[in-house]
Chain A
Amino acid sequence: MSGADPITALQEHIRAAAARGACLRLRGAGSKDFYGEALEGEILDLRPYQGVVHYEPSELVITARCGTPLARLEEILAAQGQFLACEPPRLSAASTLGGVVAAGLSGPRRMYAGALRDFVLGSKLLDAHGEVLRFGGEVMKNVAGFDVSRLLCGSLGILGVIAEVSLKVLPLPRAELTVRLALPAAAAVQAFNRWAGEPLPLSATAWCEGAAWVRLSGAAPAVNAARARIGGELIEAHSAHAFWSGLRDLKLPFFGQPSLWRVSLPATAPALAIDSQPLIEWGGAVRWYAAVPAEQDVRAQAILSGGTALCWRGSCEGSRFHPLSGTTLQLHRRLKQRFDPGGLFNRNRLIANL
């Protein structure tokens, strides 16, 4: 095997599985095994297919194989003063790039810097024939063909193996500080949105247990001017880092509860009629609920406010992901049918009985 492109091993594995009519369960470090509707099929461990393929800091792009640990990728970027601005959650220390892209989750910076999919420039997909397909590339602007690379973000592997990804990276902010303000939830959401409409260098906002947290990132003079505008108590760097990392990686005590809903809403939506204090982030656009009284229906409340609800942990009626409308579901069915007619990849993972 030495000297052979390691992708050939993956291609052979896929072809053999397809020939047997098997179903494959694509897996990196398994940190998101809980995330999805069902886990079916033989595990195809993608961790061996790892490594940075290309990184040139002045081009603001890094290309790496799916098995590359996210932590390793971030280390390499940090050494050059750059980072992944979408701050994808590190659900375990071993989380892989492939898993991050397949899940499509973004962190605290999402509303201010962009979602994971906003940073995806290109990809290499292994299809159900084991064929390598390349979409997009390493350049900032590319409108040749449909934007399949972004389609793969959050696809949970149902269209094929996301073998390689090119991501836009950004320079680390020169200055960063965090302030905390004592505010009720509704006032905090109002303030977050008002501030976002002013030229302030916001990079994250959250409300948790009676306190609003605001992170400012950018040029030092801008950060300091914004601090004066916003007010509040300056949080010492170490504690600020602990809070935002805990939020990003879902490690704050709030996230430890046995039942957890993640509700996505228009940022300015009024409070939901749920008797449980949420943890709010993304300027009000994401609200987490734990310990919801049994008779209350989070999903119905989310819909009333123009949003969707994802059952992150614990039991829920029906699907974990918010159900899709008829037309959208039909489009998903047809895409799956055309990309993976034999149901080789991650059957029932994103949507049951697709």
Chain B
Amino acid sequence: MAATDILGALREVLPADSVLCTAEERRPYECDALTAFRRVPQVVVLPRSESEVQAVLLACNRHQVPVVARGSGTGLSGGATPFENGVLLSLSRMKRILEIDPLGRTARLEPGVPNLEVSEAAAAHGLYYAPDPSSQVACSIGGNVAENSGGVHCLKYGLTVHNVLGVCGYGIDGERIELGGTAPDGPGLDLLALTIGSEGLLMVVTEVIVKLIPRAPCVQLVMASFSDVHRAADAVAAVIGAGIIPAALEMMDRKATAAVEPFVQAGYDLAAAAILLVESDGTAEEVADEVAEIERVLRQAGASSLRIAATEAERLRFWSGRKNAFPAAGRLSPDYYCMDGTIPRKHVGRVLEAIEGMEAHYQLRCMNVFHAGDGNLHPVILFDANETGSWERAERFGAQILELCVELGGTITGEHGVGLEKINSMCVQFTPAERAAFFAIKEAFDPPGLLNPGKLIPTLVRCAEYGRMHVHGGALPHPELPRF
């Protein structure tokens, strides 16, 4: 199919300013926040309405051109990496808040609305939208749906899948699809749950209905220091074991606190091997009760010191280091690579130890920030892309962490998605029959295979190649490293 055909077709259905085709215009769309993967799309479209989205999909289907939907481009796994011979469908112009229903506690949104704007708009009613990915100032609600995004508060308030009530959008054939809605638990299969986290492989979402919840009147943060990481990990289990579900339960190791402290002056205990940030929210009475209990459990678990944020400013300062961990990594090192494995909480100590071994092996530093309450790890591998072989080492380092997560009964991605980045690691986590089931779902929604193809699910051929690259002569790579 000649490149001009799809371009012509798109120009027929969209106004001129909605079709970008010069090299300078297309360049900004070459990657999402995973900048190691770059491809300039053949054409970028910026529709303003759902009928324009529908028209774009019909044109792509007619011309058999792959199409990648993109929100704000803050994704970390290359889910929005375009195709050189494809269309990049940006939903950034569809960013209206269509309706807020304060009594029913729902919001109806276009997909390009930034996550934080939903909570800002709902604040007048004492309500907010719970999932809060660290990119929430920028990341779009449509992108959150595609990735099933989390955040620091999902232990108590859930992921995107728990907070989205319905979506509308279009299939590749231009048919309108409506899933879920404000009436709960409708008939048939739960296609809404299937669509959330489907990374743009099934449909293009043009409207999202989210649940809003009341803002807790009181929030308190406890910061605890531990002299070794195993103790800190055990303390996490002890908090949960005591029947407490904190609003957030985060962990940073010494490498992470040392990295962020010079930039944010959060007041972290740099002598501690690891610190925990434990947040409690609710009514004043509830929080006082819970904080006392948290303090008791943490002391019993061997915390070497405890601090409770005395003021709101101090609470925000304690958080600032955690929230700025990635930018701090960017200041410490020319490049960094953030991983996203999840493991059963009890293995956190073991994984940290193994990562230390890997640092020595790959000759790269790695700092660790965790959503410890969820067992969701974000090891941040520091490297320099200008140094030959450095990125390759970082990539192998990351892949090995993910393999360890799978071995320990966890997963290769807790909230960032598979995209292009972790597609090889999918071969480790899933059998050929399981991957075939994923392809079956893909085909049911997108028979021609034009919606974000080549992401999320690896083909048999790809996994065979990965296996060859990885295991030589039946021996596991890096036998000197401890495995569990």
Give A contacts to B, CB under 8 Å: 56-61, 81, 104, 106, 110-111, 114-115, 117-118, 125, 127, 129, 131, 133-135, 137-148, 150-151, 153-155, 159, 170-172, 174, 190, 193-194, 196-201, 218-222, 224-225, 264-268, 282, 285-286, 306-308, 310, 321-325, 327-332, 334-335, 337-339, 350-351
Chain B: which residue is nearest A305 at the CB level? B183
Smallest CB separation, A154 vs chain B (Å): 6
Do B184 and A57 touch (CB < 8 A)? no
**Chain B 157-195, CB within 8 Å of chain A: the 1/0 string?**
011011000000001000111110111111111110110
Q: How far apart sit A174 and B286, CA to CA, in the bound complex (Å)? A: 11
Do A147 and B188 touch (CB < 8 A)? no
Do B189 and A110 touch (CB < 8 A)? no
Q: How far apart sit A106 and B190, CA to CA, in the bound complex (Å)? A: 14
Q: How far apart sit A331 and B441, CA to CA, in the bound complex (Å)? A: 9
Contacts of B286 in A (CB 8 A): 201, 218-219, 221-222
Contacts of A267 in B (CB 8 A): 104, 182
Do B444 and A134 touch (CB < 8 A)? no
Residues B170-225 near A (CB distance < 8 A): 171, 175-179, 181-191, 193-194, 196-198, 214-217
Do A137 and B346 touch (CB < 8 A)? no
> Is B33 interfacial (CB 8 A cutoff)?
no
Contacts of B385 in A (CB 8 A): none
> Is B445 interfacial (CB 8 A cutoff)?
yes
Q: How large is the interface on B (under 10, 10 to 19, 20 to 34, 35 or more residues)?
A: 35 or more
Do A151 and B193 touch (CB < 8 A)? yes
Contacts of A127 in B (CB 8 A): 433, 437
> Is B73 interfacial (CB 8 A cutoff)?
no
Q: How far apart sit A340 and B288, CA to CA, in the bound complex (Å)? A: 54
Smallest CB separation, B173 vs chain A (Å): 9
Contacts of A339 in B (CB 8 A): 437, 440
* Contact sample, A vs B, 24 pairs, CB 8 Å cutoff: A58-B237, A111-B184, A133-B434, A137-B409, A140-B155, A140-B342, A141-B371, A143-B147, A143-B148, A143-B416, A144-B422, A147-B161, A147-B198, A150-B193, A159-B189, A170-B245, A200-B214, A219-B285, A267-B182, A306-B183, A325-B178, A331-B191, A331-B444, A334-B443
Contacts of B181 in A (CB 8 A): 266, 306
Chain B: which residue is nearest A285 at the CB level? B184
Chain B: which residue is nearest A120 at the CB level? B193
Q: How far apart sit A328 and B175, CA to CA, in the bound complex (Å)? A: 10
Smallest CB separation, B451 vs chain A (Å): 13
Given contacts A154-B190, A308-B183, A350-B188, 10 further A-B contacts (CB under 8 A): A137-B409, A148-B194, A159-B189, A197-B102, A199-B217, A200-B214, A201-B286, A219-B290, A327-B177, A328-B179
> Is B289 interfacial (CB 8 A cutoff)?
yes
> Is B414 interfacial (CB 8 A cutoff)?
yes
With A138-B344, A143-B414, A222-B285 already in contact, the answer to whether A266 and B182 are too (CB < 8 A) is yes
Q: How far apart sit A68 and B38, CA to CA, in the bound complex (Å)? A: 50
> Is B70 interfacial (CB 8 A cutoff)?
no
Contacts of A220 in B (CB 8 A): 289
Smallest CB separation, B74 vs chain A (Å): 15
Do B184 and A196 touch (CB < 8 A)? no
Do A81 and B243 touch (CB < 8 A)? yes
Smallest CB separation, B373 vs chain A (Å): 8
Which residue from B102, B410, B437 sits with its C-beta under 8 Å from A137?
A: B410
Which residue from B176, B186, B416, B429 sits with its C-beta under 8 Å from A322?
A: B186
